[in-house]
Amino acid sequence: MKEKLEQIRREAEERLKAQNVDLEELRIRFLGKKGELTSVLRGMGALTPEERPVIGQMANEVRAYIEKAIAEKGEELKKELLKSKLKKERLDVTMPGNAPKVGKRHPLAKVEMEMWDIFLGMGFDIAEGPEVEYDYYRFQALNIPENHPARDTQDTFYVTPKILLRSQTSPVQARVMEKQKPPIRIISPGRVYRSDEVDATHSPMFHQLEGLVVDKGITMGDLKGTLELFAQKMFGEKTRIRFRPHHFPFTEPSAEVDVSCFVCGGKGCRVCKGEGWIEILGAGMVHPNVLRNCGIDPDVYSGFAFGMGIERIVMCKYGIDDMRLLYENDVRFLEQF
C-alpha cells in the first residue's frame, strides 16, 4: 500500500507539471469520493493494527501534498493568465484616444431651430397643439364652414367625419385665442398632413411654422415689418420681401409673400428660376369672423397671421431641388449640412 501511495504522489506531481493541466479534473481523480487516494483508504481495513497508523499518516501526507500542489499551481496559472492579459491589453497612454463620433442636426431641425430663435428674439412664444384635430378647430373656427370649396385644397386624412390629421398648424392659433386674451404673440411649429402624392415638392407629411399676433392697433405694416426682419435674419441682411394679393378664408386682406433671391440678389438665376423672387409663405390680417369665433371682439382687436412650410425654407436656404432628399436618411447627403 505504501508503494501505491508513492505512485499516486508521483503521478499527481507529473500531471501538475503539464502546461494545460485541468486542476479540477486532477483534484477529482486523486482526492474525490471515487478518487485513487480514497480507494486506498477504503482498503485500510485489511491492514494490521500496527500498519494502519503508518499508512494513515502517509495517506494524509500525500493528500496534503496534492492539495498544496494544486493550490500553488492554481495561483501560478492565475498569475500567468493575468500577465498574458496585461500584455495583450497593453495601452500606450501617450497615444491620442479615439474621438467619439458626434452627430449633426438634421437640416430640417437645424432650420426650424433658427426660425424659433428669430421669432423668440422678436418676443413670440411657442405654442403647440394636437396633430389629430377636430374638424371645428381646423376649419370651422377658421372661417371655413362645411362644404366650403377651400377645403378641397386642404384635403387631409380623416379618422372620423369630425376628427382628422391637421393640414396646417392653424388650429393651434384658434385654441390659443379661445383660452388667452390679447395681447397674443405666438408661433406654432409642428407636423402637418395632406393627401398629396409624393414628388419633388409634395409629401403627405411635412413641417410647418405659423405665427399669430393679436392686439389693439395691429396693422398690415406690423406684418410686413415682422416678415421682413425674419427674411433678413434667415436669408441675409440684403433680402427684400414683396406681397402679392391672394385669398385665404381666415385672413382679409391676404397675400403671398416672396423674398428676393439670396443667390442672385434679384437678377435671376437657377434657384429663383430667372424671376429674382422666391415664394416662401402666405400671410394676412386675421379675418374678423375668426376673431369672433374665438371670443375676441374684432372692433377692439386686430391681428395678423402667417404660415410657411419648413421644408420650403430649407430648400430655399440650401438650394435643394427635391424635398424627398430630406426624408431618405442618406448620410452622404445629410453630412453636407
Q: Give the model's pLDDT for residue 269.
A: 79
User: Any alpha helices (H) in 135-293, and if so which ranges?
Assistant: 135-138, 170-179, 220-235, 288-293
Crossing angle for the helix pair 23-31 and 2-16, to the nearest 10 degrees: 180
Work out the pLDDT band at 245, boundaries 50, 70, 90.
Answer: very high
Work out the pLDDT band at 89, boundaries 50, 70, 90.
Answer: confident
Q: Give the model's pLDDT for residue 309.
A: 94
Give the domains, in start order, of the chain with CATH numbers: 2-88 (no CATH), 107-334 (3.30.930.10)
- Judge whether 31 and 38 are in contact, CB under 8 Å: yes
What lies within 8 Å, CB to CB, of 127 at 6+ separation is 172, 173, 175, 176, 186, 187, 188
- CA-derived radius of gyration, the chain: 41
The kind and range of the H/E element at 38 are: helix 36-42
Rounded alpha-carbon distances, angstroms, from residue 119 to 33, 178, 258, 334: 84, 22, 18, 26
Q: How many CA atoms lie within 13 A of 208 on its CB side?
A: 27
What lies within 8 Å, CB to CB, of 315 at 6+ separation is 321, 323
Q: Is the pLDDT of residue 19 over 70?
A: no
Q: Is the pLDDT of residue 6 over 90?
A: no
Q: Give the model's pLDDT for residue 310.
A: 95
Q: pTM above the 0.75 mark?
A: no
Q: Give the model's pLDDT for residue 190.
A: 95
Instruction: Round to whole Å and give the CA distance between 173 and 190.
Output: 13
pLDDT tens, residue by residue, 94-110: 888 888 888 889 999 99
Q: Which of 12-16, 47-51, 121-125, 327-331 has the highest mean pLDDT?
A: 121-125
Determine the average pLDDT of the residues in 41-55: 68
Rounded alpha-carbon distances, angstroms, from residue 277 to 70, 137, 175, 240, 244: 88, 33, 34, 9, 12
pLDDT tens, residue by residue, 180-217: 999 999 999 999 999 888 988 889 999 999 999 999 99
